[in-house]
Amino acid sequence: MKTVCCATYEGMDAKIVQVESTLTKGLPSFSIVGMASASITEAKERVKSALLSNEFSFPPKRITINLSPSDVRKEGSQFDLSIALLIALDYLSDDLSEWFVFGELGLDGSVKENNQLYPLVLSLANQQRIKKAIVPFESLEKLSKIPNIDFYGVKNLQEAMGLLKNLNKIVPNSQQSSIEYPFYEVNGEKYYYAKEYELDFSDVKGQEIAKRAALISAVGFHNILFEGSPGCGKSMIASRMRYILPPMRFDEILDVAKLDVMESKEPQFKPHRNMRSPHHTSTLASIFGGGTHKAMIGEVGLANFGILMFDELPYFQKNVLEALREPMQDNKIRISRVNSKVEYPSNFLFIGAMNPCPCGNLLDRRKECRCSDLEILRYKNRLSEPFLDRIDISVTMQAVGIDDKSSFSSLELHKMVVKAHAFSKKRGQVEFNAKLNDAQIEQFCKLDNEAKSTLAIAVDKFTLSFRSIKKIQKVSRTIADLDSSESIEKRHILEALSYRRR
């Protein structure tokens, strides 16, 4: 019996599959066992054709391929090459159990790329379960970004067979490629960023308070809510925040590329964080993920490391908004189905945008609001207090004036973000300020005496809850980082209080 390794998905992570083969005496047959999906059972015909097309006589034996463990459902065409090699090289005495083999076979024996190969290999690398792998040659450019793995690219079945026949002589034909973007290094960790701004803050006229709040939100990953009349710039500011977000670690860039592949996009390997903006008519399953037999990733999972924006926030379904409270609080989303239970990371920055009333003119001095008090109350009540309690910064947009001018470009704001981000990393902080737990707040959010007195007065005056106090401390820490201040001062507390939801 010969064995090589392959992999399949179990939730969002890769599960190692041992591909075993036996060729025994008996009536000629070819069977694949081990909960194989249709795409794998169809591999029998591809493997037969590929072997016969490459001058290999199909053995007149009883061929059995087992995919272990047998209680895990396997799917994908990446098993083709491993099955073909086990049949063709049954006589080899070398131990192949440490080798991973991936690739879809063409009828002529060519080895083709599989779209799910990159996230599979990356997941195995994160689990430190893979050291060397045979992969399609055309996948090398993407896969070579993943560190600490020796990749051997093959174009056809003949090359793969020749490679395994000469294990002692082969060398990897891929070297880890680097990320060609500027970076800075703190405590041995590199943080990459891109000076590319498809949408620029220089296009935003006026709205200085909102731009300041957006800057603070971007630095600390604080959830933010923009409220204002239609056309005042809510969506305009939100769409530009993606390009001024903090730099990314190398592993985060690889994970974002993995999310791109899972959405059938070509990975770019850029230090740009994702931005997801589902429509308010989106279903619960499309936003959080789901499925009858397999729990697929949704918008919340795809927004990991980036932005999740809900425009026209009150018009989202009530059950969607209430279900969003868990990932906003715990930074992960759990999907439970009869056949699968999956947990996805969802460490995102939430941005909400809404009008002050159904007609949108409540705050406009030049237009008359057509809404009754009852309509406004019903509109506001679409957002529950527990949901709004997850919002760190609330901003009421200013009225638009004809003399408004632009003040900051995205490049200038991004420089402030990078500087503040580096300042926080130098004190040994790993998480963003908005994601700090209680112990980390005590460690990193140091208040001077005047700031403590100011916060104490605010707690009594506004009857702040425990969560609100922690929220103000974290926002204050971000404002202090923008000022490169080691401790939180009174002015930082006062500005943080100004962004408190009224």
Question: What is the model's pLDDT at position 56?
Answer: 82
Is 478 in contact with 216 (CB distance < 8 Å)? yes
Confidence at 402, pLDDT banded by 50, 70, 90: confident
Question: Closest by alpha carbon to 501, among 385, 399, 400?
Answer: 385
Question: What is the model's pLDDT at position 447?
Answer: 95
Q: Using a CB cutoff of 8 Å and minimum separation of 24, what contacts does 158-163 make? A: 158/54, 158/109, 159/111, 160/81, 160/85, 160/101, 160/103, 160/111, 160/134, 161/85, 161/88, 161/89, 163/134
Confidence at 304, pLDDT banded by 50, 70, 90: very high
Confidence at 480, pLDDT banded by 50, 70, 90: very high
End-to-end Cα, the chain, rounded Å: 70
Q: How far is Cα 154 from Cα 139, in angstroms, rounded to an integer?
A: 10
What does the pLDDT look like over 155-180, one tens digit per residue?
999 999 888 888 877 888 766 667 78
Residue 289 has pLDDT above 90, yes or no: no
What the chain holds in terms of domains, given with CATH numbers, is 2-165 (3.30.230.10), 186-435 (3.40.50.300), 436-502 (1.10.8.60)
What does the pLDDT look like over 272-285, one tens digit per residue?
999 999 999 999 98
Residue 407 has pLDDT above 90, yes or no: no
What does the pLDDT look like over 201-250, one tens digit per residue?
999 998 999 999 999 999 999 999 999 999 889 999 999 999 999 999 99
Residue 466 has pLDDT above 80, yes or no: yes
What does the pLDDT look like over 428-445, one tens digit per residue?
999 999 999 999 999 999
| The 275-276 sheet, strands edge to edge | 275-276, 307-311, 349-354, 224-227, 393-396
What does the pLDDT look like over 103-156, one tens digit per residue?
999 999 999 998 889 999 999 999 999 999 999 999 998 898 898 899 999 999
Is 17 in contact with 74 (CB distance < 8 Å)? yes
Structural element, H or E, at residue 394: strand 393-396
Question: What is the model's pLDDT at position 165?
Answer: 85
Structural element, H or E, at residue 7: strand 2-10
Question: What is the model's pLDDT at position 180?
Answer: 84
Confidence at 363, pLDDT banded by 50, 70, 90: confident
Residue 479 has pLDDT above 80, yes or no: yes
Mean pLDDT throughout 370-397?
94
